[in-house]
A = this chain, B = another copy of it.
Amino acid sequence: MIPMRYVLRQCNDQEKIDSFLRQAKVGLLGLADDHQPYVVPLNFVWWNDAIYFHGAEEGRKNKIMYENPGVCFTVCAEYGTIADPVPAKTDTAYMSVMLFGKASPVADLDEATGALQAMLDKYVPGYYNQPLAKQHVNKYRSSYGSAAVVYRIKPDEITAKENPLNPESAFYPGRRVGDD
Using CB atoms and an 8 Å cutoff, list the residues of chain A in contact with chain B: 1-6, 25-26, 28-32, 34-41, 43, 54-59, 68, 70-74, 76, 78, 81, 83, 87-88, 90, 92, 94, 96, 98, 100, 112, 116, 119-120, 123-129, 132, 136-137, 140-141, 143, 145-150, 171, 173-178
Bound-state CA distance A126–B26 (Å) is 31
**A4 neighbours in B (Cβ, 8 Å):** 56, 140, 143, 146, 148
Main secondary structure of the interface of A (DSSP, over half): mixed
* Cβ contact within 8 Å between A26 and B78: yes
* Cβ contact within 8 Å between A56 and B2: no
Contacts A41-B96, A88-B136, A124-B90 given; does A145 touch B56 at CB 8 Å: no
Which of B34, B56, B70, B141 interacts with A36 by CB under 8 Å? B70
* Cβ contact within 8 Å between A37 and B35: no
* Cβ contact within 8 Å between A123 and B90: yes
5 interchain residue pairs of minimum CB distance: A3-B148, A5-B146, A30-B39, A30-B37, A32-B32
* Cβ contact within 8 Å between A173 and B125: yes
